[in-house]
Amino acid sequence: MNENAPQNFTPLSSLGEFGLIDRIKGNFTPRNAEVSKGIGDDAAIYAIGNGEVHAVSTDLLVEGVHFDLSYVPLAHLGYKSVVVNLSDIYAMNCVPFGITVSLALSNRFTVEAIDAFYQGVKKACEFYGVDLLGGDTSSSRSGLMISVTAMGRGRAEEVVYRNGAQVNDLVCVTGDIGAAYAGLQILEREKSVFLKNPEIQPDLGGFDYVVGRQLKPEARKDVIEELRTANVRPTAMIDLSDGLASDLRHLCRDSNTGATIYEEKIMVDHQVHTIAEEFQIAALTMALNGGEDYELLFTVPLDVFERISMVKDVYVIGHIEDVSAGVNIVTQSGGFFPLEAQGWNHFRESE
């Protein structure tokens, strides 16, 4: 009776870094002429007339995979669920205006818990000026699942894709990175301390910055606005959700280029260094592979170097090279290493 009994058993984890998305994308060529970008960027882009476009992006957050409710307050989770989606819209150089939020949740959630979650959603809507347009709620057999879709608008000629980087372009990153991952390590440590002895209160002291970056990230609306004011249009852009290494490789793959970046140019907060030492992980590893920073990674032509240097919180960390050069990092000690992506394969780790 079970028609779903697989005749072949190819595990999902065998598909590799970009495998599943590529596999789906290959089967779906846009049929409507308005769609200028379908699957495979931070957001899809479609024309709505008069040179205007809309952008749409969607993200899932699954309990036990993306968040742990033993230390993530629901209001923060509501906020973060919105922000990670808005970040994708900004990464297209578009301005978000609306979201939908759907929840599948088990009966252990109370009305008060849902209220807390939507307070966070509301706060994000207010801060970023977007409307909650709709959603769906359903029971689930276990745990909480959040699905958010964000919509934005922009001018067709101003949209920035992942595939526009050119040889000699400058590689730029906003803010400091690795902090969200470092914050996660602290939260996980305090959770295990608490599980061993519930009398001990969590000690997050001194790590408020990185814990905040993990629990309540922000999208770089400010930088997108400053770039516009400075009259700088990136040639390619992606938001840092999977980690600098993976996301830079993604941008380079789509642009058919290589890149070289420099460890000394990458901003890493001192709390990250402290935590890296404590946990005996290299701070550089946290910065390259941590993910969830929701900073922007973008490229600009060499000739805007002076203008881009004036934009607050933007750092030039390297340059684009020919594809044959590969994607590499020069370390502070002068080493030269290919960037390898980690942390991309959800399916490898789980169940």
The residues in 90-129 that bind a second copy, with binding defined as CB under 8 A, are 97-98, 100, 102-116, 118, 122, 125-126, 129
Residue 18 interacting with a second copy (CB under 8 A): no
Write the CB contacts of 323 (distance below 8 Å, at least 6 apart in sequence): 252, 256, 257, 258
Smaller CB separation from a second copy, 105 or 180: 105
Q: Give the DSSP H/E element, type plus range, for residue 87.
A: helix 74-90
What is the C-alpha to C-alpha distance for residues 59 and 82, in angstroms, rounded to an integer? Answer: 9
Footprint of a second copy on 273-292 (CB under 8 A) = none
Smaller CB separation from a second copy, 145 or 304: 145
Closest CA to 183 of 296, 72, 275, 120: 275
Whether residue 100 contacts residue 148, with contact meaning beta carbons closer than 8 Å, is answered with: yes
Report in angstroms how near the CB of residue 37 gets to a second copy at its nearest. 9
Report in angstroms how near the CB of residue 285 gets to a second copy at its nearest. 23
Report in angstroms how near the CB of residue 21 gets to a second copy at its nearest. 8
Q: Which two tokens stand for residue 79?
A: 């906020």
Smaller CB separation from a second copy, 59 or 313: 59
Footprint of a second copy on 187-206 (CB under 8 A) = 190-191, 194, 198, 201-202
Smaller CB separation from a second copy, 49 or 334: 49
Beta carbons within 10 angstroms of residue 200's beta carbon:
10
What is the C-alpha to C-alpha distance for residues 163 and 4, in angstroms, rounded to an integer? Answer: 38
Q: Binding mask 29-68 vs a second copy (x if CB under 8 A, - otherwise)? A: -xxx-xx--xx---xx-x-xxx-x-x-xxxxxxxxxxx--
DSSP string, 276-290: HHHHT--HHHHHHH-
Collapsing DSSP to helix, strand or coil, 26 comes out as: helix
Smaller CB separation from a second copy, 198 or 205: 198
Report in angstroms how near the CB of residue 326 gets to a second copy at its nearest. 27
Smaller CB separation from a second copy, 98 or 290: 98
Footprint of a second copy on 147-186 (CB under 8 A) = 147, 149, 151
Count how many Cα atoms sit within 13 Å of the Cα of residue 60 in the half-sphere of its side chain: 8
Q: What is the largest CA-CA distance in the chain?
A: 67
Smaller CB separation from a second copy, 56 or 223: 56
Candidates 136-144, 164-172, 224-232, 265-273; binding stretch for a second copy (CB under 8 A): 136-144
